[in-house]
Amino acid sequence: MPEKDGTLPASRTAAVTALVVVLSGCLTALLARSTVEGIVQLGMFPQGAVQLWSVPAAWLAGTALAAAALAVGRARPLVVAVVLTALGILSLVTSGVLGILGACVAIAVYRVASARSAPVTWAAVAVVFVALTAAMWRWQDIGAGEMALWAGFVLPEGIETVHRMAEPEFSAGRRTASAAFLLVLLLLAVATGSGVRARRLDAQAVVDRREATARDHEASAALGRASERARIAREMHDIVAHSVSVMIALSDGAAAVLDHAPDRSREALRELSRTGRSALSDMQGVLGALDPADEREAHLDPMEPTEINLQTIVDRFRTAGLPLTATGLDVALPLDTTVRLALVRIVSEALTNALRHAHGVTSVQVAVRRSDTDVEVEVLDDASPGLERTGAMMPGVQGSGRGLSGMRERAALLGGHVLAGPRTGGGWRVLVVLPCATEG
């Protein structure tokens, strides 16, 4: 059965090559016999010369050995080329003919050119050509020139042969013709084999590029999925940690003042409801990003919160019980929604940390500042020094560790940065700096 690319299997190709060599060798052996007979007619071999049977015999023996070498040595073309060259020299020494071994050497060189690099191929060609040409120049009696001139020659009727020579005299022209014929065969073999190798390498390069592209796409998709998971995890953390922490504080505060300050309790409950609805809306947006079943919401940004006003965020945390003061809330924030969203998320995270983890906090300050090139928000609290920030105001609530890393990731995506850490005199400081272009 042919291969997928339409070519025959290597074993079948080798068998076909060997069969063609055998058939060609048998036919050309007849031509060699006819050439010897023509030389005898011309008187350059004696009547009944041994060459009448030794040349065809050597020709057929070379054919059989060459066919076997080409059939069994297809995986080692260089070795086959060397073996056939040696057989050709042996044939020239013993019988004065190269025979079909010259064409068989060209087949071996074709295989070398199709499998090995150009330097190796040309080195093999040089060795083969020099060795065989030297042997032909020294020992050849019948070559391409002789066969072209004397094959089938018959003396005209009435003319008798006068034998004067034991063998044809040396002719540089006929030797050159044989060497040129061999060179043409070798060059054709190199050209054909190199073309086959180039096409195979091109095909392999196409396959390699496709595989590399597929790997790149797979890696990009994996990175995209990881990035999306990280983004969704960050948004879910913001929604749950910020809103639920405020809701817990509001519900605890409402329960604490229910008996002696019912108006404050009702206000806390109203803020609790607003916070819960906002959190629910934000969570629906995040889930919609995973499976936007409602096409009416497809045009909305699923990661945009329902509230991007810093004043509202500050009021919500103040209602939840934080002793909060704020300055600069009237500063015009950038119109860029991504910058405003990052500010809201980072400030909410900082205030949530103060609400959940600051022990003994009596004051929380939020300061907003803007210059021509960036906008800054600083959040300070005065929690008691020397204590870990773990569940001070909300016992039993532990942090996930995503807060600070999420703040830094948000700022870094916009080319800004976040500084967060303890203050020298006690408390905690968060400073976010985001770049913003001059507007208007």
> Averaged in consecutive runs of 10 residues, what is the pLDDT profile of the chain (440 residues)?
51 80 83 74 66 82 87 86 92 85 90 90 92 89 70 60 58 82 92 90 90 86 76 66 69 72 76 73 63 47 57 81 86 80 83 75 88 89 60 46 75 87 84 78
Tally the C-alpha atoms within 13 A of residue 238's C-alpha that lie toward its C-beta.
31
Query: What is the spatial distance between Cα 224 and Cα 416, in angstroms, rounded to a whole number?
Result: 22
**Cβ neighbour number for residue 431 with a 10 Å cutoff:** 17
Rg (CA), the chain: 47
pLDDT score of 120? 92
Tally the C-alpha atoms within 13 A of residue 212's C-alpha that lie toward its C-beta.
6
The closest of 229, 245, 315 to 279, measured between CA atoms, is 245
DSSP for residue 50:
T
Which string of DSSP letters, residue by residue, matches 378-408? EEEE-PPTTS--SSSSSTT----SHHHHHHH
Query: What is the spatial distance between Cα 75 and Cα 82, in angstroms, rounded to a whole number?
Result: 14
List the Cα angle 149/151/153 in 5-degree steps: 85
Domain with CATH 3.30.565.10 in the chain: 320-440
What is the model's pTM?
0.51
pLDDT score of 239? 63
List the Cα angle 157/163/167 in 5-degree steps: 120
pLDDT score of 297? 45
Tally the C-alpha atoms within 13 A of residue 123's C-alpha that lie toward its C-beta.
6
Tokens representing 360?
A: 């003994």
**Does residue 136 contact residue 143 with C-beta atoms inside 8 Å?**
yes
Q: What is the dihedral of CA 224, 225, 228, 229, to 10 degrees?
A: -150
Residue in this structure with the two tokens 């949530």, named with its chain if needed: 352
pLDDT score of 123? 92
* CB neighbour burial string for 221-238, b if at least 16 within 10 angstroms, e if fewer: eeeeeeeeeebbebbebb
258 Cβ neighbours under 8 A, 6+ residues apart = 265
Q: From 3.40.50.2000, 3.40.50.1000, 3.40.50.2020, 3.30.565.10, which CATH number describes the 320-440 domain? A: 3.30.565.10
Tokens representing 370?
A: 């803007």
> Beta-strand (E) ranges in 229-363?
324-327
Q: Secondary structure of the chain: what % helix, strand, coil (to 5)?
A: 65, 10, 30
| Single-letter amino acid, residue 120 | V
pLDDT score of 150? 65
pLDDT score of 218? 85
Which string of DSSP letters, residue by residue, matches 240-254? IIIIIHHHHHHHHHH
DSSP for residue 48:
T
